[in-house]
Structure 1
Amino acid sequence: MKKKPLVIVTRRLPDAVETRMRELFDTQLNIDDRPMSPAQLVEAVKIADVLVPTVTDRIDGAILAEAGEQLKVIASFSNGFDHIDVEKALARGITVTNTPGVLTEDTADMTMALILAVPRRLVEGARVLTPDHDWAGWSPTWMLGRRMAGKRLGIVGMGRIGQAVARRAKAFGLSIHYHNRHRLSTEIEEGLEATYWDSLDQMLARMDIISVNCPRTPGTFHLLSERRLKLLRPEAYVVNTSRGDVIDENALAKLLESGAIAGAGLDVFEHEPTVNPKLLRLAAKGKAVLLPHMGSATIEGRIAMGEKVLINIRAYFDGHKPPDRVLPSML
């Protein structure tokens, strides 16, 4: 009988995914769901045929240098792959896969939720109806936010998620604008009624809301730098459901504190799981809405991710090319 590959999973996955994984492979699960340390990851790559990390696991060159010859696949349970040194993995003959496409709608939903929550002050309002506060009742001038209809939304990164955000925002009456590495087809632009900006700087200076939906690459690190954030209008809001380090957090916090930017909605952070204390203080003051990386957190989405992981592993060991390989051209 053909030996089953040893698959080591770094975090808890949905029960249905773990059950199927145990049926198909010789599987080691992380029952406690505690993040694995670098030393534990090194021990894992020394013996595993397949490593299934998540976005919080840093699989860098130092860890890959310790990998045994038997490690053939890193099947990441994630849409992104910036947490893996893909070039080093490929150089060692290790196939890297991810789980693209299944989180688009979930992340776009959460992005739209933040686009609504920040200008309409939803979290501030919810805090009023708690035992620690007394609500004096409705007042014409109390808890005033900003209307959505007619506002200009600038989307940074118009891939699958950016386009899904645009579809939702259009239904709320927002004017759609975007900046992307490559301009979309005329057909897509017309369908979304979207205006393309070749200059990110010029777009930032003219928008009411900025939604960051670009992938994390070396070129997008601090894409929204202090210089670019200063281009935003004082009435503008920033929403980020992409990767935390696309925005210079310290600069964002400084501009929020001074009132140079009206507010921010963040689901991702530059040094996760650590959250910048400045942002926490601003959230307490109602100048930011912070969420703990919940953008893709749906049961359906997580199961779909797991199914992609299973398909990629099975395809490799059945002698086929995994459908979700990370290729050098994608880096």
Structure 2
Amino acid sequence: MDHSGMDHGDMDHASMDHGVSDQGDADQGDAAQPETDHSQMDHGEMDHSQMEHAMPQAVEGEGVASAMDHSMHHGASEPVNPADAPGDAAPPPVPNDHAADAVFPPSMMAMSRHAMMAESRFRTTAAIFDIFEYRAHKGEDGYRVEGAFWTGGDTDRAVLAFDGEGAFGEAPESVELDAYWSHALDPYFNLQLGLRLDLRPDPERTYALLGVQGLAPYWIEVEAQLFVSNKGDVHLSATAAHDIRVTQNFVVEPEVELDVAMQDVPELGIGAGFDTLELSARARYELTRNFAPYVGISWEKKLGDSARFARLEGERPSVVSFLAGLRFWF
């Protein structure tokens, strides 16, 4: 339809309702009718003051985000109720009463609890022979015995340790007796405090003993002892050993022992400084956990002035020994 000749200047649009036009019908109408040419339409006199421009209905889902309540989204902080805030009140006291005290006399129950603790505390007695061996070396073959008796519990023990060696058919070369109290410092180390008596060689010596014994990292058994004799001489002794369990029953135990003297003691053949170094290795087969035969090798060397004193006495400062013995405890 050609509207080019139509005059729209006097048209009254006040009564025209444009607010509820159906977009779907308009689209269908446009498809069915030819395109209208508005290029020649005169809109100068149009009165739009009475036209209803109601907003079209929002497309579904559009504008929903603006009306949504995001306060419950994850991560949003919730208002804190003062009643729910953590307080700083002190915890209640630990109960120290006993239910039995309400039925029986408290004094009688206190004695009963004390007796129960004393009876259930771990306490035992043991005898341990770590070394009971035959030593074959150049010259006269010899022997060595080392072990300890102890009684007590996990925390405190009374210990009597001994170490002796010599050659067959001769008087013992050395005999050492240690009597000390062992106290657990922590699960791995014990403090030693007591006395040591050297019976051989002559002259005898008595020492005050202070030591630490325990299990170092990597399962290394260590022991360090400080000795001060009744004559004023000071000595140090340190030992380290490690059990290498090849199988459940076969164990190889290397060990190193070092003695140090703070001064010369010529009557004992001891020189100041490093005194004696001993390296050994023993391979044992545990028939049971408390009974194991073993074989091994040991190298012992006197150092410094101690080696010089040994040569003056006609002794060899270095000795290699082949070992065979038993390790047992009961």
What's the TM-score once normalised by structure 2's chain length?
Answer: 0.23
Greater relative contact order (CA < 8 Å, ≥ 6 in sequence): 1
- Higher gyration radius (CA): 2
Higher helix share: 1
Structure 1 or 2: more strand by fraction: 2
TM-score by length of 1: 0.23
